[in-house]
Homo-oligomer: A and B are copies of this chain.
Amino acid sequence: MQYHLNGFRTGDPSVQPEGYVQDAVDVLIVGCGPAGLTLAAQLAAFPEISTRIIERKSGPLEVGQADGIACRSIEMFQAFGFAEKVLKEAYWVNEVAFWRPRPDGNGLHRAERIQDVEDDLSEMPHVILSQARIHDFYLEVMRNSPHRLAPQYNRELIDLNTADGDAYPVAATLKCLDKNDKTETIRARYVVGCDGARSGVRRALGHELKGEAARQLWGVMDVLAVTDFPDIRLKCAIQSAQHGSILIIPREGGYLVRMYIELDALQGDERAADREVTSDMLIAKARAILAPYTLDVKEVAWWSAYEIGQRVCDVFDDVPDDLRDHKTPRIFIAGDACHTHSPKAGQGMNVSMADTFNLGWKLAAVLRGQSSPALLHSYSLERQAKAKELIEFDRDMARLFSAKPKNADEAAQFQSYFKKHGRYTAGVETRYDPSVIVGKDAHQALATGQKIGMRFHSAPVVRLGDGKQMQLGHVLRADGRWRLLAFGGAGDTGQTGSAIARLCDHLATDPSSPILRHTPQAADVDAVIDLRAVFQRPHRDMRLDELPDALLPHKGRFGLIDYEKVFCADPREGADIFDLRGIDRQRGAVLLLRPDQFVADVRPLSDVSGIAAFFDGFMLQH
């Protein structure tokens, strides 16, 4: 954690100095769910961007909704600076148990018990924590930002209009629910609809969620209960012989348990309310499934009859496909507003946050003058493809989960599918197609374990300056910066003439250097592209005073030296980062990382022109 660069400051370093708030609104965010809050937290990091986030409800979420947090989401929380809070409070999903009817038909038995997340899939675990607490953490990030950003509650979006040519072309009409429904208009450069499954922004765009007509009705309840079911503190999928199936998700705090209970399919316009589900019905059903084990529910903390379809929109912005070459987007939709899933795979909250983590840095890059607005097309392209893939996966998963297993074979089928898709539900399988911000695999062989188009896969390293053992991925903060990670080849210690030294010198001094071309004069040298290096040599055998200047940059108003740019492989655990991530030990490699931690490209250390050309593809010159 670095601070004090521009002068020593007392107090909590996560509270940043207060910034200024402009009158005009660059971005209006509609809705304070996980999608809206991720975007607000991201944009709040930039003092020069003004953001407003509105919410129809009268205050923050307190209870209920989603609770599954994938490894990938925690990697992202790390970038926002609150992963350790989630890890502390949450239930950790270490294992999953599968219960099935006993072969003799008498009750249930545990058919299998497996590790939930495979080893080295992520440095982060899969955890369970109330969506409300995730909201709290985002709200805290926003509150601590230079903007002291806070949502405006009691504001309902009721209309949306675009006036081309205007600097603030989108006009949003809001109903002020705490002021006798008085209306108010906000003008914005961009509007992002994070307004959930019944999105008004989606409606204003004329988009539709497409998918199956039948929607599954699920009962979900968070309970405090006494039971003799032995795996009540493990995630369990339980399929009974007669009464359907249940998913048990132990919750944070050691006592609370969530149960997902499958109810019926809804048809056409039928709504969950029509079924008149009650919590007593859910409890009765849960007891029937769990029998002969007992279930004595002492308190129902929250329950819901939650209807769900596997649906997705064709486009996530306001640009019709045939106008992509002529028009750049002004209005976006994200999260449940453009795709919905069954709760089974625990993806709703995670994918919604990933949507706006993808969008946030792009909006920031355009608004800060780093990129042209054409960059914004990539949001719908990248995330719509991801959502479609997820819907398909989710549909299969839900179908398998609902099908009463006729025999051991069928039941086993579900388990094997579940295992196979562990990587998928962990959120680390997302892969974006080649584009201006994703390279074409030409040099993938230099870093086989860091797939172009996928998220950077962290591994342990030692920081040279202070000898700290740490995860390399944890330097990738949600700060809108691109990163160049240069991995040294054999014998490279940064000494004059080495490949790393030559790359650094080029980046620091050559007029064609992307760092020089794209960084504003007054900004720190790493403000737009953050150069870091990883060497193979053990850190005690390295010499700091041998390093190229670019790896010990002077920054801030005092010109202080940043000592946190250089890392060494950590041999202590056997395999080091070069082994773990398949980085070419002979030749080294440069990884180009996007601000959302995705690997944009892999290049040879000597390929300075290729690197420059990549950035020229979407960044503006300063």
Chain A interface (Cβ < 8 Å from any Cβ of B): 1-5, 7-8, 10-13, 62-63, 84-85, 87-89, 91-92, 94-95, 113, 130, 132-133, 136, 222, 224-228, 230-234, 250-256, 298-299, 301-302, 465-469, 540, 543-545, 554, 558-564
Contact = CB atoms under 8 A, between A and B. Distances in A.
Given A8-B301, A84-B84, A94-B468, 8 more contacts: A4-B252, A4-B256, A5-B253, A10-B62, A11-B62, A12-B136, A225-B560, A299-B558
A534 to B, nearest CB: 17
Number of copies: 2
Nearest to A543: B230
Q: Which 6 A-B pairs have the closest CB atoms?
A: A8-B301, A2-B254, A298-B558, A3-B253, A94-B467, A233-B465
A13 B251 CA distance: 13
A564 B299 contact: no
Nearest to A234: B466
21 contacts: A1-B88, A1-B89, A1-B252, A1-B253, A3-B252, A4-B253, A4-B254, A4-B256, A4-B301, A7-B224, A8-B224, A8-B299, A8-B302, A11-B62, A13-B252, A84-B87, A84-B88, A94-B468, A95-B467, A233-B563, A234-B466
A457 to B, nearest CB: 21
Given A94-B469, A224-B560, A7 B299 contact: yes
Residue of A8, A63, A92, A251 with highest tally of chain B CB at under 10 A:
A8
Given A88-B84, A92-B468, A232 B8 contact: no
Contacts of A465: 233-234
B554 A256 contact: no
Nearest to A470: B92
A10 B466 contact: no
Contacts of A254: 1-5, 562-564
Contacts of A564: 254
A545 B234 contact: no
Contacts of A468: 92, 94
Nearest to A251: B4
Residue of A62, A84, A254 with highest tally of chain B CB at under 10 A:
A254
A291 to B, nearest CB: 16
A492 B252 CA distance: 30
A569 to B, nearest CB: 16
Nearest to A302: B8
A79 to B, nearest CB: 14
A60 to B, nearest CB: 10
B226 A559 contact: yes
A558 B469 contact: no
A86 B95 CA distance: 30
Contacts of A250: 466
A8 B466 contact: no
A551 to B, nearest CB: 13
Contacts of A87: 84
Contacts of A12: 133, 136
B233 A13 contact: no
B228 A63 contact: no
A224 B4 contact: yes
A461 to B, nearest CB: 13
Nearest to A254: B2
B256 A8 contact: yes
A272 to B, nearest CB: 22
A95 B544 CA distance: 15
A554 B228 CA distance: 12
Nearest to A140: B12
A255 B545 contact: no
Contacts of A85: 84
A227 B228 CA distance: 65
Contacts of A62: 10-11
Contacts of A255: 2-5, 560, 562
A558 B253 contact: no
A252 B301 CA distance: 41
Contacts of A540: 113
Nearest to A2: B254
A469 B93 CA distance: 11
A228 B563 contact: no
Contact of A92 (B8, B133, B466): B466
A133 B256 CA distance: 33
Nearest to A547: B230
Contacts of A3: 252-255
A466 B127 CA distance: 12
A253 B13 contact: yes
